[in-house]
Structure 1
Amino acid sequence: MQFDETCTELSRRNQALLQLGESLKQSGYRFTTVTPATHQRINRRPGNAMATDLAGVFGWSRPFVRNVVGESLFRQMEAADVLSAGVDGFRSVVRWSDLGDELYVHSAFPTDAADAVFFGPDTYRFVQAIDALLDTRGHEVRKAVDVGCGTGAAAIRIAQRYPRADVQALDINLRALEFTRVNARLAATPGVRAVASDLLREAEGTFDLIVANPPYMLDLAQRSYRHGGGEMGSGLSLAILDSGVARLAPGGALLLYTGVAMVNGRDGFYERIAECLDACDCQWHYRELDPDVFGEELDESAYQHAERIAAVLLTVQRT
């Protein structure tokens, strides 16, 4: 599947992908994406080798025969170039998941490609955290940015809450930007602009709201959606925090959802950021959202000294 690098309008292929999403939405299709480990377990169950419904095709990424989706959807998949044919049948190279009232297109399981676009439990928690922040925030959001946007779910939610805001969705992954454009169209959020950028480098000015859910794992394949780099995967999170605080407008807020590997009961990420944030002109709050995520990663050599990986939330507000 080829992707356009710079266009702001949808290509013909991605218009077909949008049409596919609209058809699924109209059909009442729903699917909640789980962790990769859970996905594997469910697909290994007896009777789950082949898809028998739309959730099996577009959610569980199972092989299927043509009549499972019907001729109309099959032709839309052909036009969108998201069909893969194999000895066991056809497969969709994309998944569709719901969050609230919206559907989001992202990469099929397993997400092995270097430029795969991931959507999963972290996405749900991230958007819930944004909602909670905006529910209590008194400042108007006129300019916002989602750093490392992936599917654009966070940018789209902000644009839904503030329809007049300029919301930039930034990512270095061109596939993510294409998916974001399709998802923004499907959600009817014209305020979302997908922009190719390495972190905040291509974004101009200051922001009322900066949000980020960066990769935070140590991934041997260094896939862009997983590999955080640095010490125990914290490299990108630290870089976003370092550049983001300086780009906040007065009263602006930064929300960072990330993961932290705990070693001997210590949170090395918190220890790195606390002194710096205490010295800046801001108020901040840090807490664990989930004490144990992606536990299967603890079997990997990169985590031989870690006892758990926790999902954490940092909010910073410039005074």
Structure 2
Amino acid sequence: MTTADTLTRPAETSSRDANPDEALLALARAVRDSGYRFTTVTPATHARVNARPENAVARSLRDVLGWSRPFREDAIPAGLTDLMKQAGVLDRAEEGPDDTLLKARIRLSSLDDELFLHAAYPPLAADSVFFGPDTMRFAEAVLAHLEERARTGRPAPRRAVDIGCGSGAAGILVAKRLPEAEVTLVDINPAALRVAGINARLAGVENVRTVHSDMLSGVEGVFDLIVSNPPFMVDAGERAYRHGGGPLGAGLSLRVVEAAAERLAPGGSLVLFTGSAIVEGHDGFRAEAGAICERSGLEWSYREFDPDEYGEELDDPGYAAAERIALVVLTATRRDGVR
């Protein structure tokens, strides 16, 4: 098994009686209790920093579980290595100066004073559980929306859902702030649901459930809050955590808008954080998403969170017509009393 394999097969290196999920949770708790913190960077930055000669082999826990560097067994406390073995997330490294090096198949990143498990760098597998700077931006947009609702006297959401939850970060932060709400994390990726469930336990939130679902097909009823940060890139390998499909990667994002148009409760809102490829000054996603909202009677707003991200992706033939990739936030609300 290579380090590119994901968390869907957790028990291969664990003892027969070990519970890999419990071992993974115990590992995360022990790391948190050590005072560990790590801010995840973009893959491009990660590659540059790890390419420095002095970073070839890990020297600290942050190097092992943040920077995903190969390490010698004595580089971290033995108890943590044992938990990794029990969880089945420890491999022999394929890179490094010798064949005694190990590598963790998971990472831990900081957000909102919590730690979140996700896939190690580089996340090559189709079902990798991704967490990056966009996760942090997405969470910021969702929490800002909750603050705005409270400031304007709107009722707190009672039912919320995170579509394509990945690590579960945004939904878990909603659950922290709304302990009386029912928060559902949905994804088509079993690895994501497993990690999101562990992350919810790590954060100590009890009002979260995970459901295997394509969009909202696996859950019933209407929602007061729908949040989503779906894959939005053009990806030739069609990796689930990255490939958006449709026109210039907008396919999944448009499906989220359509799902929200059908399942928002009166007064309910969608907060969608995504990317849009701009062609000759035209934002095709904005036009199509806005049209869906208009047809459905939703009030909506739209802003560019960052006008120019992922510039390196423009070298991909799939973006031949694009001049930039913008990160955007769409907020759509169903008026009270309207269904």
Q: TM-score, normalised by structure 1?
A: 0.96
Cα drift, residue 305 of structure 1: 1.3
Q: Give the Cα separation in 2 of the matches to 1:275 and 1:63.
A: 49
Q: Do residues 217 (structure 1) and 220 (structure 2) align? A: no
Question: Which position in structure 2 is the counterpart of 1:107?
Answer: 119
Q: What is the root-mean-square deviation in Å for CA atoms of aligned residues?
A: 1.2
Query: Where does 1:1-319 land on structure 2 (aligned, <5 Å)?
Result: 1-3=7-9, 12-86=19-93, 87=99, 89-137=101-149, 138-319=154-335
**In structure 2, what residue type is equivalent to 1:68?**
A
Specify the code of the residue in structure 2 equivalent to 1:153: A
SS, match of residue 271 in structure 2: strand
Provide the secondary structure at the position in 2 that maps to 1:246: helix
Partners of 2:261 and 2:293 within 8 A in 1: no
Q: CA deviation at 1:275?
A: 2.9
Deviation (angstroms), 1:73:
0.6
Unpaired runs of 5+ in structure 2? 1-6, 11-17, 94-98
Deviation of the 1:276 alpha carbon: 3.1
In the aligned structure 1, how far is the partner of 2:296 from the partner of 2:81?
55
Cα distance, 1:46–1:160 mapped onto 2, change above 3 Å: same
| Alpha-carbon distance in 1 for matches of 2:330, 2:24 | 35
More deviation in 270-279 or 123-132?
Answer: 270-279
Deviations 1:61-120, CA, capped at 9 Å, x for gaps? 000001111211111111111100132600000010010110000000001001001100
Structure 1 CA distance, aligned partners of 2:209 and 2:88? 24
AA partner of residue 66 (structure 2): G
Paired residue for 1:8? none
Cα distance between partner residues in 1 of 2:82 and 2:228: 36
Runs of 4 or more consecutive aligned structure 1 residues displaced over 6 Å after TM superposition: none
Structure 1 gap segments, 5+ residues each: 5-10
State how far apart, in whole Å, the 1-side matches of 2:291 and 2:73 are.
59
Are residues 88 and 297 of structure 1, via their aligned partners in 2, closer, same or farther at CA, if it must alter by over 3 Å? farther
Contact 1:63/1:88, CA 8 A, preserved across alignment: no
Cα distance in 2 for residues equivalent to 1:189 and 1:317: 27
